[in-house]
């Protein structure tokens, strides 16, 4: 698992997709409004530190909230078995 491979959400227990939406919404809201230094954005801490772009991250988080998380319905939360 590397830092450029995506978003991971690890849960323990029995969760329904709908129960996770508030947590995902809170996290992406936090990212979309984040101000300050990006954690671990130095050459010592990250080999890809030059790729960190706070403005782009905030924009991506806002887009994900607006187009995916807000108003999500069961068709996008319940997977066929």
Tens of pLDDT, residue by residue over 21-64, are 999 999 999 999 999 988 888 899 888 888 888 999 999 999 99
What average pLDDT does this structure show over 61-71? 94
End-to-end, the C-alpha distance of the chain in Å comes to 27
Rounded to the nearest 5 degrees, what angle is found at the Cα of 55, between the Cα atoms of 7 and 37? 85
Residue located via tokens 């994900």: 64
Domain extents in the chain: 17-74
Residue 1 in this model has a pLDDT that exceeds 60 = no
- Single out the residue of 67, 75, 77, 62 nearest to residue 21, CA to CA: 77
């Amino acid at each position: 698992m590397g830092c450029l491979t995506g978003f991971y959400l690890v849960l323990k227990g029995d969760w329904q997709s709908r129960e996770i939406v508030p947590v995902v919404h809170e996290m992406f809201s936090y990212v979309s409004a984040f101000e300050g230094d990006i954690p671990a954005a130095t050459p010592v801490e990250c080999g890809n530190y030059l790729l960190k772009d706070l403005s782009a991250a905030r924009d991506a988080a806002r887009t994900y909230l607006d187009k995916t998380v807000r108003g999500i319905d069961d068709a996008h939360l319940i997977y066929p078995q």
